[in-house]
Amino acid sequence: MPWVDQINLRMHSIRRMVAPVGVVASVAVLVGLDSYSRRAEGSKISAKSSSQGEGIQALTALSVVGVGGVALCEGWGSRKSTKRIFKYSADDDYPYFSKWHRTLMRKHLTPKVYKQLQPLRTSNGFTINDVIACGTTCGYSVPRGMGCMAGDYESYSLFAPFFSPIIKEYHDFSPTSRHTTDLNPSHLKSVKDLDPNSEYVLSTRIRVARSIRGLPFPAASSRAARRKVESLARSCTETLKGDLQGMYMPLNDMDNDVNDDLIQRHICFDNPDEWSITARLGQDWPDARGVYINCQDLDETPDFVVWVNEEDHLRIMCLRKGGDIFAVFEKLVRGVNAMEKQMKEQGYQFLHDEHLGYVVGCPTNLGTGMRASMHVKLIKLAKLPGFIDLCNRMGLDVRGKHGEKDTRQSGIFDISNRHRLGFSEVELIQLMIDGVSYLIELEKKLEAGEEIDLEKEFNKV
**Contacts for 50 with CB less than 8 Å, ≥ 6 apart:** 213, 214, 215
Report which of 258, 278, 151 is spatially closest to residue 211, judged by C-alpha positions.
151
The C-alpha atoms of residue 326 and residue 433 are separated, in whole angstroms, by 9
210 is catalytic: no
Is 234 among the residues known to form the active site?
no
371 labeled binding residue: yes
Q: Give the active site residue among 38, 79, 144, 371.
A: 371
Catalytic residue status for 227: no
pLDDT, tens digit only, all 461 positions of the chain: 444 444 343 433 333 333 333 434 444 444 444 444 443 443 333 333 333 334 433 333 333 333 333 333 333 333 443 333 456 899 999 999 988 888 999 999 999 999 999 999 999 999 999 999 999 986 545 556 899 999 999 999 999 999 999 999 999 999 999 999 999 999 999 777 888 889 999 999 999 999 999 999 999 999 999 999 999 999 999 999 999 999 999 999 999 999 999 999 999 999 998 889 989 999 999 999 999 999 999 999 999 999 999 999 999 999 999 999 999 999 999 999 999 999 999 999 999 999 999 999 999 999 999 999 999 999 999 999 999 999 999 999 998 765 544 445 678 999 999 999 999 999 999 999 999 999 999 999 999 999 988 887 777 76
Active-site residue flag, 311:
yes
Annotated binding residue 16: no
Query: pTM of this prediction?
Result: 0.80
Please give the sequence-ordered ranges of beta strands (E in DSSP) within 331-457, or none if there are none: 352-353, 357-358, 370-377, 396-400, 412-417
Residue of 127, 137, 237, 364 marked catalytic: 364
Give the type of residue at 7. I
Distances (CA, A) of 412 to 203, 334, 438: 11, 30, 16
Among candidate residues 79, 144, 289, 315, the one labeled active-site is: 315
Q: Is 441 noted as a catalytic residue in this protein?
A: no
Determine contact, residues 211/318, Cβ cutoff 8 Å: no
Q: How far apart are CA 331 and CA 326, in angstroms?
A: 9
C-alpha to C-alpha distance for 243 and 238, rounded to whole angstroms: 13
How many residues make up the chain in this entry?
461
Instruction: State in Å, rounded, how far the first CA of the chain is from the last one.
Output: 59
215 neighbors 313 (Cβ within 8 angstroms): yes
373 labelled binding-site residue: yes
Q: Would you call 334 a catalytic residue per the annotation?
A: no
Establish whether 204 is an annotated binding residue.
yes
* 382 phi/psi in degrees, rounded to 5: -65, -20
Check whether 407 is labelled as a binding-site residue: no
399: annotated active-site residue: yes
315 is catalytic: yes
Name the catalytic one among 362, 420, 425, 443: 362
